[in-house]
């Protein structure tokens, strides 16, 4: 069957601003009834940043880590309330992440509300699909993408902790301006009768490389910029606005009852070309079971695939999905690279501009 991609309406800033007080009230009531929990996606490898440690521990200011920024942002939203705060790590960074939280005294947050768990790992391969090894008999593995956050959470035994929690605010580790547990965002979904939503930044132009919200055969979805045709990128409405313009940030709200109903469903696995450190044999080829080990290689170009499931695929399981426009300058400062676009440099500049 041919997939039909169609636009989805965004809750634009002007409308949001008009309803802000109502949203705020509804969101705070939900928080005070214990219906909201946070889930920090901190299992990624952060390879583009090239920092030797969990990305959240990166000192974005001389004396302030990315994690510390996120907790400051949280306090701005909910004051001294405390709600469950899940932290998804991976085998690669779990111990270092936990140790950092402890060393920093859980950033002043109630430690009994902070629940760590590990996501699953996936075997990396070369371009022919043969497994790579990081050491003799040790497969090269990497975190299996952020799409499995809920399955791993339940597998880790946190179902009980979710009782009464209607909204899970799932957010990435790297946006230092992210407003989390934002009552106005939560209230917007409640008041508009939606079951899932995302904070969206409107595209600056047709060519910006960001995934945007759309519908596929009527189901809510996110389309990657690589899949968008020239025509879609440039399509405008009667007011001259781009039709496919709601760029997703990693700040989602999900109705947990629907997340629970998706547990038995599989998500597509994406092959992603990456630089994968591996052990060679004595001939310089990737080491295979039974061969003579050579040396450890740090490739400078992609040499194989990692296998990932993505949070954006989960959205199709929801009956609706509301993109809520945010002010880019105030809420979007992702740290992906050291310099240039979406970098430590640009995030520092944005923090300063926001008086943080
Ligand atoms: P990114 O794709 O930007 O993060 O994920 P990354 O994979 O860590 O970065 P690069 O590409 O290697 O530089 C967005 C969010 O999803 C989390 C990340 O930690 C980040 O918060 N994530 C990603 C996971 O929690 N697990 C994963 O397996 C992948």
Q: Which atom of ligand 1 is nearest to the CA of 308?
A: 28
Mean pLDDT over 235-252 rounds to 95
pLDDT band, residue 159 (cuts 50/70/90) = very high
pLDDT > 80? residue 155: yes
Helix (H) or strand (E) holding 74: helix 66-78
Nearest protein CA to atom 2 of ligand 1, as residue:
44
Which atom of ligand 1 is found nearest the CA of 142? Answer: 28
pLDDT of residue 333: 98
- Whether 243 is in the pocket of ligand 1, judged by its Cβ within 6 Å, is no
What DSSP assignment string belongs to 175-240?
Answer: BTT---S-HHHHHHHHHHT-SEEEEEEE-SSTT----EEEEETTEEEEE-GGG--HHHHH-B-TTS
Ligand 1 nearest atom to the CA of residue 42, by list position: 19
Cα(172) to ligand 1 centroid in Å equals: 8
44 alpha carbon to ligand 1 midpoint, in Å?
4
d(CA 356, CA 348): 9
Is the Cβ atom of 250 under 6 angstroms away from ligand 1?
yes
Q: Residue 95 is inside which H or E element, if any?
A: helix 94-103
Which pLDDT value is given to residue 265?
Answer: 86
Using the mean position of ligand 1's atoms as its centre, give its distance from the Cα of residue 46 in Å.
6
pLDDT in tens, 172-227: 999 999 999 999 999 999 999 999 999 999 999 999 999 999 999 999 999 999 99
- Please give the pLDDT value at position 305: 97
What mean pLDDT is predicted for residues 279-293?
95
- Decide: helix, strand or coil at residue 329: helix
Closest to 344 in 3D by CA, of 202, 176, 204, 208: 176
273 close to 256: Cβ distance less than 8 angstroms: no
Ligand 1 neighbour 42 (Cβ under 6 A): yes
Nearest-atom index, ligand 1, CA of 336: 13
Mutate to test the pocket of ligand 1, among 42, 146, 148 (most ligand atoms within 8 A of CB): 146
SS3 state of residue 71 = helix
pLDDT at 1: 74
Q: Is 337 in the pocket of ligand 1 (CB under 6 A)?
A: no
CA–CA dist 90, 2 (Å, integer): 37
- 152 CA distance to ligand 1 centroid (A)? 15
Q: Could you give the percent of the chain with pLDDT greater than 90? A: 97
What ligand 1 atom has the least distance to the C-alpha of 144?
28
33-42, 70-79, 263-272: the lowest-pLDDT one: 263-272
Residue of minimum CA distance from atom 14 in ligand 1: 172
Among the listed residues 143, 129, 87, the one whose alpha carbon sits nearest the alpha carbon of residue 310? 143
User: pTM above the 0.95 mark?
Assistant: yes
Given a contact cutoff of 8 angstroms between Cβ atoms, the answer to whether 159 and 295 are in contact is no
Any ligand 1 atom below 6 A from CB of 43: yes
Q: Which helix (H) or strand (E) holds 293?
A: strand 293-297
Per-residue model confidence (pLDDT) at position 261: 95
Q: What's the mean pLDDT in 23-36?
A: 98
Residue nearest to atom 7 of ligand 1 (CA): 44
Ligand 1 site-directed mutation target among 39, 44, 56, most atoms within 8 Å of CB: 44
Quickly state the pLDDT bin for 130 (edges 50, 70, 90).
Answer: very high
Model pLDDT, residue 264: 85
Largest CA distance in the chain: 69
pLDDT in tens, 176-189: 999 999 999 999 99
Cβ of 147 below 6 Å from ligand 1: no
Q: Do residues 279 and 240 make contact, with C-beta atoms less than 8 angstroms apart? A: no
Q: Determine the pLDDT at residue 260.
A: 97
Closest-CA residue, ligand 1 atom 10, reads 46
Closest CA to 354 of 326, 331, 338: 331
Sequential DSSP letters for 11-54: B-HHHHHHHHHHHHHHHHHHHHTT-EEEEEE-----TTTT-SS-
**Model pLDDT, residue 39:** 98
Residue 145 CB less than 6 A away from ligand 1: yes
């Amino acid at each position: 069957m041919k997939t039909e991609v169609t636009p989805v309406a965004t809750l634009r800033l002007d409308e949001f601003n008009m309803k802000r007080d109502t949203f705020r009230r509804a969101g705070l009531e939900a928080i005070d009834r214990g219906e909201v929990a946070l889930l920090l996606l901190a299992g990624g490898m952060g390879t583009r940043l090239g920092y030797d440690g969990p990305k959240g521990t990166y000192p974005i200011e001389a004396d302030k880590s990315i994690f510390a920024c996120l907790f400051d942002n949280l306090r701005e939203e909910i004051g001294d309330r405390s709600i469950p705060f899940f932290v998804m790590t991976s085998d690669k960074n779990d111990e270092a992440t936990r140790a950092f939280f402890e060393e920093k005294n859980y950033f002043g947050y109630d430690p009994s509300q902070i629940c760590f768990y590990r996501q699953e790992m996936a075997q990396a391969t070369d371009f022919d699909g043969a497994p790579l090894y990081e050491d003799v008999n040790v497969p090269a593995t990497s975190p299996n993408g952020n799409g499995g956050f809920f399955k791993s959470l339940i597998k880790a035994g946190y179902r009980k902790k979710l009782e009464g929690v209607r909204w899970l605010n799932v957010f990435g580790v790297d946006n230092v301006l992210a407003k989390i547990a934002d009552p106005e965002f939560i209230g917007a979904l409640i008041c508009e009768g939606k079951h899932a939503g995302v904070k969206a930044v409107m595209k600056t132009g047709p060519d910006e490389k960001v995934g945007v919200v759309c519908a596929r055969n009527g189901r809510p979805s996110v389309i990657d910029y690589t899949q968008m045709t020239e025509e879609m990128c440039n399509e405008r409405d009667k007011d001259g606005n781009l039709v496919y313009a709601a760029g997703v940030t990693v700040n989602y709200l999900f109705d947990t009852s629907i997340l629970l109903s998706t547990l038995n469903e599989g998500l597509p696995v994406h092959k992603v070309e990456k630089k994968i450190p591996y052990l060679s044999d004595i001939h310089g080829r990737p080491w295979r079971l039974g061969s003579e080990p050579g040396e450890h290689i740090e490739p400078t170009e992609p040499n194989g695939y990692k296998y990932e499931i993505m949070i954006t695929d989960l959205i199709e399981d929801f009956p609706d999905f509301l993109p809520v426009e945010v002010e880019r300058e105030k809420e979007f400062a992702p740290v992906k690279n050291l310099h240039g676009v979406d970098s430590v440099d640009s995030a520092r500049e944005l923090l300063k501009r926001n008086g943080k």
